[in-house]
Chain A
Amino acid sequence: MKEFALIFRINDINFKPSPEQMQERMSWLAGIVAQNKLVDKGNTLLPIPGSAVTVHANNVTTDGPYTEIKEFISGYIIVKTETIEEAVELAKSNPIFKIGGNIEVRELLKT
């Protein structure tokens, strides 16, 4: 079994999920657990000022998360599957795409 981080990115910093959206995400996660493929349910990362600072070289800091093309990381989980294709399959049914987000799938380096 390999382990993969699914990294969630969205572009709306003010996005607040509705109860239905939270439920949909919960159900997606539960589906992964049901297959016994969840390693770590990870965390949600708060993007709001006061909860996020980016530190640059030479002691320069900026308020808020690191954004590239206006996207920021909203959270992550870790799953275990035989192949990266399987991990991608798991990611495909996540409701994040309905709100214009995306998911990066990255294999964990195991030492």
Chain B
Amino acid sequence: MQEQANSVEQLLPHLFRQEYTKMTAVLCRHFGMKYIEIAEDIASDTFLKASENWAINGIPKNPAAWLYTVAKNKTKDHFKRAAIFENQVRNELIKGKLQEEQHFEFDSQQIADSQLAMIFAVCNPANSAEAQICLALQILCGFSVEEIANAFLAKPETIKKRLLRARANLRNDSFQLINLTEADIKSRIETVLKTLYLVFNEGYFSKTNDQLIRKDLCSEAVRLALVLLENPLTNTPKSNALLALMCYQSSRLDARISHTGEAIAYGQQDSRLWDQSLIDRGNYYLINAFDGPEISKYHLEAGIAYWHSTPADETKWQHILQLYDQLMITAYSPIIALNRTFALAKVHGYEKAISEAEKLDMNDSNYYHQLLGYLYADKDVEKAIHHYRLAIKMTRSKVEQQTLMKEIKRLSPSDQIYRNKGKQF
């Protein structure tokens, strides 16, 4: 009995993560975005019932099917109640219309279509990019407010408020989920790709130390990108480029954090820890991404990630620098400017890179000081340490602080000898 309860405890969170958002998407497509809360209530009730029932009766043979049957019945009940309500009192009270559908199935096509529609509904340009990521994590990925707050290193209250405002915008939007038209897709695909890109980056460059959350964010972004590729209307070269980028980056997820939780810089990573199957998939999607004349920033970033996933090659950094040059012109961002300077150092030497870096003049950025610290390390230890110290002051990430402290320690051996000598005297 105890054992049964344990396995329910293990299985449910997993199923919840996998099925809750799909269930909500399908229900929402029936009810309309306006009634997203009803859809979420039914989905939550379903899982509640599962946790009670399975602990006593054991896990059914096909847990997902069990969940969908319950959800379907609960939805029918809801419609029944709603119909009574509509016939008897509604006309006096509510103007909005609750649609009843005769055919209501949770088949795989229905789920796929609903999920895709939900992605487009959530990526509403009326919301800020930050709010969109939060919404995507909650509605599309089934993250709790606490988990989202943890990923952003923000207070749960802040996230809750942000979500409330963003959800109000969704409800007021006339976006309809039943038939996702080509026009809908065209008008929102950019926002969708950007949101998925940001969700992935939130995981990949996360401020949180929680390795599990980081991986979850990355794999959820990949899952949603795969949903895009399943539909011919959204299986575009750009979507492929984005997915290729995610695959390459994911291949290094395990190599970039040490077992003690420290970040490992690209140059120091053990390339045997890179996941070759993900690199291969990246290659596959990258080839598909060039099925057309368009070169987007996702193409360029995927190209850079491709070279980073390839074993050392003499011309590697030259290619990377060229891609950064193009990326710079396509889509400026301070981080890209810094990364480009790093590539420039590899191609044209540190001296040249230092003078280019100092022209950037980003004194408020901890990455700027990290880069200068790195570039000065062999040339002028004092300056290197000065920049690393500034970087430590500016970053909120414990992992980064630890890594930089270690670097300072490594750079100041002479200092230590001097101190030891002092003791002897």
In the complex, how many residue pairs between chain A and chain B have their CB atoms under 8 Å apart? Answer: 43
What 1/0 flags go to A1-36 for Cβ under 8 Å of B? Answer: 000000000000000000000010011011101111
Min CB gap A18→B, angstroms: 14
Q: Is A34 a contact partner of B360 (Cβ separation < 8 A)?
A: yes
Q: Which chain A residues lie closer than 8 Å to B322 at the CB level?
A: 23, 26-27
Q: Is B321 a contact partner of A34 (Cβ separation < 8 A)?
A: no
B326 (CB) vs chain A CBs: closest residue: A26
Q: Is B328 a contact partner of A34 (Cβ separation < 8 A)?
A: yes
Q: Which chain A residues lie closer than 8 Å to B35 at the CB level?
A: none
Instruction: Please report the C-alpha to C-alpha distance between residue A102 and residue B359 in the assembled complex, in whole angstroms.
Output: 24
Contact with B325, one of A30, A36, A38, A41 (Cβ below 8 angstroms): A30
A34 (CB) vs chain B CBs: closest residue: B337
Instruction: Please report the C-alpha to C-alpha distance between residue A23 and residue B340 in the assembled complex, in whole angstroms.
Output: 14
Chain B interface residue count, Cβ-Cβ cutoff 8 angstroms? 17
A25 (CB) vs chain B CBs: closest residue: B325
Instruction: Please report the C-alpha to C-alpha distance between residue A29 and residue B360 in the assembled complex, in whole angstroms.
Output: 14
Interface of B is mostly: helix
Min CB gap A41→B, angstroms: 6
Instruction: Please report the C-alpha to C-alpha distance between residue A109 and residue B125 in the assembled complex, in whole angstroms.
Output: 35
A19 (CB) vs chain B CBs: closest residue: B322
Q: Is A33 a contact partner of B328 (Cβ separation < 8 A)?
A: yes
What 1/0 flags go to B309-350 for Cβ under 8 Å of A? Answer: 000000000000110111011001010110011000000000
The size class of the interface chain A forms with chain B is 10 to 19
Instruction: Please report the C-alpha to C-alpha distance between residue A23 and residue B348 in the assembled complex, in whole angstroms.
Output: 14
Instruction: Please report the C-alpha to C-alpha distance between residue A35 and residue B328 in the assembled complex, in whole angstroms.
Output: 10
Q: Which chain B residues lie closer than 8 Å to A38 at the CB level?
A: 329, 332
Instruction: Please report the C-alpha to C-alpha distance between residue A30 and residue B337 in the assembled complex, in whole angstroms.
Output: 9
Instruction: Please report the C-alpha to C-alpha distance between residue A35 and residue B357 in the assembled complex, in whole angstroms.
Output: 9
Known: A26-B329, A36-B332. A31 touches B324 (CB 8 A): no
Q: Which chain B residues lie closer than 8 Å to A31 at the CB level?
A: 356, 359
Q: Which chain B residues lie closer than 8 Å to A41 at the CB level?
A: 329
Instruction: Please report the C-alpha to C-alpha distance between residue A30 and residue B332 in the assembled complex, in whole angstroms.
Output: 9
Instruction: Please report the C-alpha to C-alpha distance between residue A23 and residue B325 in the assembled complex, in whole angstroms.
Output: 9
Q: Is A29 a contact partner of B332 (Cβ separation < 8 A)?
A: no
Q: Is A34 a contact partner of B361 (Cβ separation < 8 A)?
A: no
10 closest Cβ contacts across the A-B interface? Answer: A30-B325, A34-B337, A30-B328, A33-B328, A26-B325, A27-B325, A33-B332, A35-B359, A33-B329, A34-B328
Pairs A–B under 8 Å by Cβ, sample size 24: A23-B322, A23-B325, A26-B322, A26-B326, A27-B321, A27-B325, A30-B324, A30-B325, A30-B326, A30-B329, A30-B340, A31-B356, A33-B328, A33-B329, A33-B337, A34-B336, A34-B360, A35-B337, A35-B359, A35-B360, A35-B361, A36-B334, A38-B329, A41-B329
